[in-house]
Amino acid sequence: MSRIDLDDFTDLIERPDAGVRRDAETRRERQIVPPGALGRLDELGEWLAAAQSAVPVRTVERPRLILFAGDHGVARLDVSKRPAGGARELVRDALEGTSPAAVLARRLQVPVRVVDMALDCDPADLPEDVGRHRVRRGSGRIDIEDALTEEEADAALRAGIAVADEEADSGTDLVVLGDISVGGTTAAAVLIAALCGTDASVVTGRGGVAIDDLTWMRKCAAIRDALRRARPVLGDQAQLLAAVGGADLAAMTGFLLQCAVRKLPVILDGVVSAACALVAQRVAFRAPDWWLAAHDSGEPGQAKALDRMALEPLLQQGVRVGEGMGALLALPLVRAAAALAAEMPERPEPGQETEAAAAAAEPEAEEA
């Protein structure tokens, strides 16, 4: 099988329908609540209408939380409060419904799908459907070695594309995207720093479980060393993901690109999904038009990536737990925007009120 050519996505991805968006804006101007009174909900409703190519917009009925999972070798440098190889326990919590994101997803009636791309555990430890796309056991230590071979990076990208096709074909109408990883925020920061041309200290955050100053310095040093390995391959996004990404990040990048091809809108969660989105933007500049940024997690790398893509977070709640939690919190806003755009009545045209009143009076006149 020949290697995937990411350049093909440039031609495959179209922008959401601008004509439909104008029609949605026109319809919004006729509704009973004045335009602008609903704030950003107006913009969300119009964005969703363009993504669906539908006016009035269809309400969001079949969202799904997709979590790409993997362990990262760089975690062995103690750059996180979580132990290296500890993502398996987080996945178990998600599958058993006890993680914060799983609890919220259950309350919002959103099904959860976990995709194991590189967990550092025996595949038999998890359900077969979770691990059927796995590329390898753990990604390499990116400060001194590649995260993946070129073949593994290609397989991970293809896996992400396949998952996007599966979701689109099954009728999912909105994706809530997150990750489950240990060391993932370090790899994400390297990608963002490389693509934005910044130093390690600018993008090094405290992670989902806030780290102390000493751990932050170790994380910053690991990002600095990985950046040296990233810069020579900046021109090739697949090589970049192989060098300093990981199987879960490569799969998420392929997933985002194919969702844009399939016209499937996505809500991005935290710094990991933002990093993958930034890589995908480098591949296909129109792709970010299909994504929403859910929230500001407080990670400096996420803020840098979203600014580069001109995506403004919907929420400012400081949620740092990851695993799609922030994106789930934004879902009710998107659903509210769709419901209002679809169901709020329009103002009657001049003269229609008089006609309606006259029509209502006719039966009374006949009875008299």
Active-site residues: which are they?
A: 323
- Helix (DSSP H) and strand (DSSP E) numbers for the chain: 16, 5
DSSP 298-334: S-HHHHHHHHHHT---SB-------TTHHHHHHHHHH
DSSP code of residue 69: E
In contact, 68 and 255? CB cutoff 8 Å: yes
Residues 6+ apart with CB under 8 A from 230: 190, 191, 193, 194, 240, 243, 244
Q: Which of 199, 200, 278 is nearest to 241 (CA)?
A: 278
Cross-strand pairs, 66: 113, 177
The answer to whether 292 and 272 are in contact (CB under 8 A) is no
Determine the distance from the C-alpha atom of residue 292 to the mean position of all C-alpha atoms in its chain, rounded to a whole number.
Answer: 7
- For residues 41 and 51, what is the distance between their CA atoms, to the nearest angstrom? 15
* Separation between Cα atoms, residue 277 and residue 226, nearest integer Å: 20
